[in-house]
A and B are shown apart, each in its own frame.
Chain A
C-alpha cells in the first residue's frame, strides 16, 4: 500500500517536472525572441540615422506591438511558473503526509523525513508516555529567551491551540497534529499578530518535521515573527539559518533583505549594508536587490 502511494506520488512529481521542462523550453524560446528583438532594435537604431522618418515610425510601431506581445507572453509564462511551483509544493506536502502515515503504520519512531531519531522527538501515536510525564528530555521547544517553556497553563501555552502546547505534551497525548496544521496555525497566528504563538508553532514544526517540504518556509516565518516583534537580533539569527541551510529557497532574497533592514534597525549600518550588498551581488535581478539598492541610497 505504502509502496503504491509512494510510486503514485513519484509519478506525479515526474509528470510535474516534465511540465516544468516544457515551461523552461517556452522560457528559453522567449529569451531567444527577446535577444532577436534586441538585435533588431540595434539595427533599427543604426538605420535611424540614415533612413527617412516614416520608415523609422513603422518599425518603431511594429516594435512596440511586438514588445507588447512579448510582455503578455512573459506574464503568461510567469503565471505558469507560479502554478507549477504551487503544484510541486502541493505534491511535496502530500508526499510528506504519506511518509508520515507510513511511519505511523509501521509503528516506527521515525520522523517524516525518514531519519532516525535517537535522542530526538518522535511522533508515536500508540506509545504511551511514562506515568506523570509532562515533557520528555530533549523535546521541549526553547522559549525566545532560550529557557524551557513554562508548564501547561502558564506563559504562552494555550489548550485551544494545539501548536502552542509543548512538544512533550503533544507526544504525551499521542495526538500530534499534522505538519500542515501546525504550519497553518503558525501562519494564522502570525497574520493575527499573535507572534508568540506563531513562534511556538514554527519551532514545533521545525523540531518535529525537519525533513518536510515546508521547513524553509517555517524557518522564514519564524524569523519574520521575531522581525515583526522587533526582536531584531533573534530575527537576524533565524534568517541566517534560512540563508545558510536552505540557500535554494525562494525566500532567501527576502530573508537577506530583512536581515539587512534588521541590522539597520539595530543601528549597525556597516553590517546592514554588508548584507544588502551581498544580496545585490547574489540576486542582482530580484525585486529585493532593487529594494536593497534603494535602501542603501537613502543611507
Chain B
C-alpha cells in the first residue's frame, strides 16, 4: 500500500512538473460565441505512432482524447476528420498552414495541429493553435513525459487550447475525488475528469467520506473514522502529509472551503445538535454559525465567500438555507418538497445545485438561483445525489443509481451529456471536482 501511495505521489510530482519547451506567443483572437454556439475546431496531425511494432497507436489515442476533451468543454464543436477535405492525420507539423484555406471555406474557426514523437525515453507531444479565419498562428507548446503520462499531456494541451481561444481555464486536466465503498471499507480515490487513472488516496481500511479540494487544489479535506471518531483531516496532495485538523467529541463532518482557501466550514456535534462552524484551515479560530438541537450540514460557500448555503432541519424537514459568514441574515431558499439538501454553489456564483424529492420517486438534481427562484430539474433517471461543480461552472459531477448501483456520473450544466465515470463494481459516491 505504501508503495502504491509513493508511486501516486511520484506521479503527481512528475505530471505537475511537465515543462513546456516553448512558450505561447500571445496573439489576439476574436471568437464570436454565445452560450449555445460552439466554436468549430479541427484537429489535424498526430500521424500514427507506435512504441513497438504491432503496439497501440499512441497518436490515435492522443487524437481521440484531445477531441473528447474539446468536445466535452461545451466550448468547441470538433469536426469529425471524415468531414475534412483532406486526410487529417497526414498533416505534418511544419506544413499545417497549408490546410488553413480549405478549413476556412468550411467556416472552421480554429485549428489544433499536433504531433507525437519520442526523444530518449520521453514522449513529446507538441501542439499548435491557429485562428483559421485570419490564418494566424496563436502559439504552440511541447509536453514531455513517459507513456503513462500521455493522457495527462493531452489533457493539458486541451486546456491550453481552451485558455488561448477563450481566456477561460479548461477542465481537461482536472481530477475528481470520490468515495468508494467495498465490503471492508470506504476509501477515497482520485481520478481524471474523464474517469481514467483512478488512484487510492486513503487506504486506512476505515470509513472515509466527504472529500473536498482546497481552491488551490493542493489539499483534500475529508472526514475519516480512522481513529474511531469521525474526525476531519487535511491531506496534502503534493507531499502526502496528513493532518487531523478537527477531532472534537462527536461529529467533525461535511467540510467546505472558502473561495480564498483560508477557512473551512464544517458541522460539529460537540455542543448537542449538529451545527455549522467556521474555522481556519489548520483548525484554529473556531466560530459557531448556527444554534439549536437540529442538524445543519452540507455547507457550500458562495463565489464571493460571504455566504454559506447549507441543509438544516430547523424547520422540521431538511431544507436549504443561506447564512452570512458572520452567522447572521439566515434565510430559507427551498420550499417545495419535503427533502431538499446538498446545496452546491456554482463557482460562477449564479446557480445553486441541490437535490430534492419534490418530483417523487427518489432524489433528483436541480439548479436554482441564489434567491431560490428559477428552479430547473437536471436529472430524471434513477436516484441522483451529491452534485458538485466543475471549476469552470459548465459541468456537474454527481452520484446516480440509474445503472443499478451507486456510481459517479458527469453532465453539462444544462443537463445534457450525462455519462458514467466509474465502473469498478463498488459503491461510488460523494464526488468533488478539483480546481
Contacts and interface: CB of A to CB of B under 8 A. Distances in A.
B311 interface: no
B233 to A, nearest CB: 28
Given A76-B316, A79-B319, A192-B350, A187 B304 contact: no
Contacts of A188: 349-350, 369-370
Nearest to A214: B371
A184 B371 contact: yes
Nearest to B324: A254
A258 interface: yes
A255 to B, nearest CB: 9
Nearest to B315: A79
A187 B371 contact: yes
A290 B303 CA distance: 27
Of the listed residues B291, B305, B306, B314, the one surrounded by the most CB atoms of chain A closer than 10 A to its CB is B306
Interface in A178-225: 180, 183-184, 187-188, 190-193, 195, 220, 224
A228 B304 CA distance: 9
Contacts of B400: none
Contact of A291 (B327, B335, B371): B327
B294 to A, nearest CB: 6
B303 A193 contact: yes
Contacts, number: 86
Contacts of A71: 293
Given A78-B314, A253-B328, A83 B304 contact: no
A132 B244 CA distance: 66
Interface in B223-246: none
A220 B319 CA distance: 24
A290 B289 CA distance: 11
Contact of A78 (B293, B302, B315): B315
Contacts of B303: 191-193
A192 B328 CA distance: 19
Interface residues of B, number: 31
A288 B24 CA distance: 53
A286 B146 CA distance: 62
Interface in B324-356: 324, 326-330, 332, 335, 345, 348-350
B277 to A, nearest CB: 13
A291 B325 CA distance: 12
Given A79-B315, A191-B349, A291 B304 contact: no
A95 interface: no
A152 B335 CA distance: 40
Contact of B328 (A72, A86, A191, A291): A291
Given A75-B294, A254-B328, A261-B326, A191 B350 contact: yes
A195 B303 CA distance: 12
A258 B326 contact: yes
Contacts of A220: 329
Nearest to B305: A193
B25 interface: no
B291 A75 contact: no
Contacts of B293: 71
Given A79-B315, A86-B335, A254 B329 contact: yes
Interface in A69-92: 71-72, 75-80, 82-83, 86
A193 B304 contact: yes
A251 interface: yes
Interface in B344-389: 345, 348-350, 369-371, 373
7 contacts: A76-B315, A76-B316, A78-B314, A82-B332, A195-B304, A288-B328, A291-B326
Interface of B: 291, 293-294, 302-307, 313-317, 319, 324, 326-330, 332, 335, 345, 348-350, 369-371, 373
